[in-house]
Structure formats: C-alpha cells, structure tokens
Amino acid sequence: MTRQARKLEHLRHAVEQELANADFSDVELIHNCLPETALQALDLTTTAAGLALARPLFINAITGGVAEAAAINRDLAQAARSCGLAVAVGSQMAAIENESCRDSYRVVREVYPEGIIFANIGVNAGVTAAQQAVEMVEADALQVHLNVPQELMMAEGDRDFRGYRQQLAAIVQAVKVPVIVKEVGFGIAREQAQQLQELGVAAIDVGGRGGTNFLQIESARTKQQISPELLQWGIPTALAILEARAGAPAVDILASGGINNGLLAAKALALGAQAVGIAGLALRILLTAGPEKLVEHLQQILHELKMVMVMTGCATISELRQAPLVITGRAREWMTARGLSR
Ligand SMILES: Cc1cc2nc3c(=O)[nH]c(=O)nc-3n(C[C@H](O)[C@H](O)[C@H](O)COP(=O)(O)O)c2cc1C
C-alpha cells in the first residue's frame, strides 16, 4: 500500500472510530467561591518550547501528502488562525519523498503567515529530512513523533527501533528550531522523558492514551485481530503528564491524547502541561460538520477553560498550573507505585 493510500485510510478510520476522551476522572480541581478575578481579565498566554503562544491550545499533527490533505490543512490553519492557536502539519515524509506533495503542507504557512507552525517528521527520517521539513513550512518548531505500537501493528511498519536516541540527538543538533518530541497516543514515561531531556529536546508532548487510538485504527484498517486488552496499551494522558514532568523537569511538557474539552484542558494544565493539543476531534468536526463548527468547538474549549480558571481563582496559566487539586483512586495508586508527585 502506498503512503498516500494509507494516509487516506487513517483519516477515514480516525473519524469512524468511537470518540473517546482522556480519563481525568481521578483528578479534581477545587472550586473557589471567592475567586477575585474576572473572565475579561484572564491571561491565556503561555510558552512552549521557548515559543510564546497566545493560547494554551494547539491543533496537533494530522495530515498532508494527499490532495484531500491540502484542503484539510487549509481549514485547520484557518481555524487555528481565527482562534489564535499554534498548528502542526502531519508527517512530512510524503513530501520529502515526493516534491509534488509539498503544497499540501505549505498551504498552512500560506493561510497563516504569522502563525506558530510545527513541522512534523518521524524519528528515523534523518537529519536532512528534518531540516527540509522545517524549511518547507518555515516552521517555528519541529515535532518528532514516536509511534512504536502503531508501527508494530502496520503490515508495512517498522520492526527495528534501535538507534532512535542517536538519531534524535543528531536531529536536535542539526535543526535551527526547537524540537518537540511527541507520542501519538501511547504516552511517555518518566525514564524516557529523562533521556529526552538529556538529548536536549525543547519540549515533550506526552501524547497519552485515552483519545485517538492508533492500535484500533490500524487493526480496523488492516482487519488484523488484536486482543481487547492490548488495544488499551499505553500510559493514560493524565499520568503521562506527571511521568514526563518527573523525568524531565527542565523541559516544557505539552499534553495531548483525548483532551477534547475545556475542563480536561484545565486539568492537564493544572497537572503541569504548558499547553494542550487536539487532533482527532478537530479532524472529526471538520470532516463531519465543517470549518465553522470546528472554530466554534475550539472557541468552546477556550471558553470552558476560562470558566474553570475563574472558578479556581486563577488569572493566568501559571497560576492554573499551581491550582489546588486532588488526585484519587487508580491515578493516586499509580503515582505511589511510580514515586510521582504533582
Ligand atoms: C488521522 C490522524 C493522523 C495523524 N497523523 C499524525 C502524524 O502524521 N504525525 C504525528 O506526529 N501525529 C499524528 N497524529 C497523532 C496526533 O497528532 C495526536 O498525537 C494523537 O491523535 C492524540 O491526540 P488526540 O487524541 O487529540 O487525537 C495523527 C492523528 C490522527 C487522528
């Protein structure tokens, strides 16, 4: 199967997959009945990978490389622009291999010239491809994705994952923009976060379990059997944030994986993320309800986030990151077992 055909199937199966939100049910923010702040006085600015973001929400990597992807990327970039969000393009490998695909990525920079845009490449793409990916969209940062379970589930996927750290180190050294290492829905543990910090990455996007499930997408796509227990592989997003923070305290932590509403975004930020990313749901709304509805939903997430900031008495994202919260149940047990704190 060609890379192009696979990309189309990913889009279709991602939208057909049952919608899932990340599980933050063990994390409770505490209501403040005397907040001493105002909705119009909130400051939503944050920083990620050394970049100033106007909002703590970004549209994460989804697509590129096929004709349909050009229209999707245009709409995603326009939605990001009208909401003041950063936006990532999908893996640019298709355009590295085939120049005629480049416009489907460049469109993001064309419609959002002043935007914060993330390039995207796989870790084994190599240094030259990483540099080309950054130049192609005049990126402000480079996302490097890690997706071992997905590769293992794909008939045509990689089977040998040795040498990744060395390849990452070379990319970090070579590119002129900050590097964000991201998972695609299986999370990043403390030990690997520490290794990533040592390699000099600027940010880690934990891409935890709970939202888009690439084991499920690949199994539906290729009609391969997978046991239901294995389908739940990965570190839940809420815990992946704590894992990554513990392993890489000097690195900015970004959160994604099923962060589909403003309360979940607020909880992710309160657990220590600098910003949160949304992919699957943004794509689903765009393809099933259109670009206006996508903008409405992104605004709704921001509005709910602001409500929670007021209701917790937090005027800024850094205050939200210190807001009182309680962690109970299985999440608390996980923290104890792994020696994690907030
Ligand atoms: C259709 C689709 C394609 C994706 N393609 C990429 C990709 O090319 N590169 C990448 O780093 N992540 C890719 N992702 C993963 C997302 O960026 C994100 O990490 C993941 O979907 C979890 O976030 P979510 O639960 O909000 O969807 C893709 C996601 C979807 C839904």
Tens of pLDDT, residue by residue over 78-125, are 999 999 999 999 999 999 999 999 999 999 999 999 999 999 999 999
Q: What is the pLDDT of residues 127-139, one digit of tens each?
A: 999 999 999 999 9
As a whole number, mean pLDDT of residues 270-283 equals: 98
Q: What is the pLDDT of residues 34-88, one digit of tens each?
A: 999 999 999 999 999 999 999 999 999 999 999 899 999 999 999 999 999 999 9
Q: How far is the CA of 212 from the centre of ligand 1 (A)?
A: 7
> With b meaning 16 or more CB within 10 Å and e meaning fewer, what string describes 263-295?
bbbbbbbbbbbbbbbbbbbbbbbbbeeebeebb
**Atom 3 of ligand 1, nearest CA residue:** 62
Q: How far is the CA of 182 from the centre of ligand 1 (A)?
A: 10
**Which atom of ligand 1 lies nearest, measured to the CA of 278?**
26
Residues within a 6 A CB radius of ligand 1: 10-11, 14, 60-63, 90-91, 120, 143, 145, 182, 184-185, 207, 211-212, 256-258, 278-280, 283
User: Can you give the residue ranges of every domain in the chain?
Assistant: 3-338
Q: How far is the CA of 27 from the centre of ligand 1 (A)?
A: 24
Q: 3-class secondary structure for the chain?
A: CCHHHHHHHHHHHHHHCCCCCCCCCCEEECCCCCCCCCHHHCECCEEECCEEECCCEEECCCCCCCHHHHHHHHHHHHHHHHHCCEEECCCCHHHHHCHHHCHHHHHHHHHCCCCCEEEEEEHHHCHHHHHHHHHHCCCCEEEEEECHHHHHHCCCCCCCCCCHHHHHHHHHHHCCCCEEEEECCCCCCHHHHHHHHHHCCCEEECCCECCCCHHHHHHHHHCCCCCHHHHCCCCEHHHHHHHHHHHCCCCEEEECCCCCCHHHHHHHHHCCCCEEEECHHHHHHHHHHCHHHHHHHHHHHHHHHHHHHHHCCCCEHHHHCCCCEEECHHHHHHHHHHCCCC
Q: What is the pLDDT of residues 161-220, one digit of tens each?
A: 999 999 999 999 999 999 999 999 999 999 999 999 999 999 999 999 999 999 999 999
**Atom 29 of ligand 1, nearest CA residue:** 62
Q: How far is the CA of 89 from the centre of ligand 1 (A)?
A: 10
> Quick one: CATH architecture of 3-338?
Alpha-Beta Barrel (3.20)
Q: pTM of whole model > 0.85?
A: yes
Q: How far is the CA of 204 from the centre of ligand 1 (A)?
A: 15
Tokens in use for 313?
């008495």
**Which atom of ligand 1 lies nearest, measured to the CA of 20?**
25
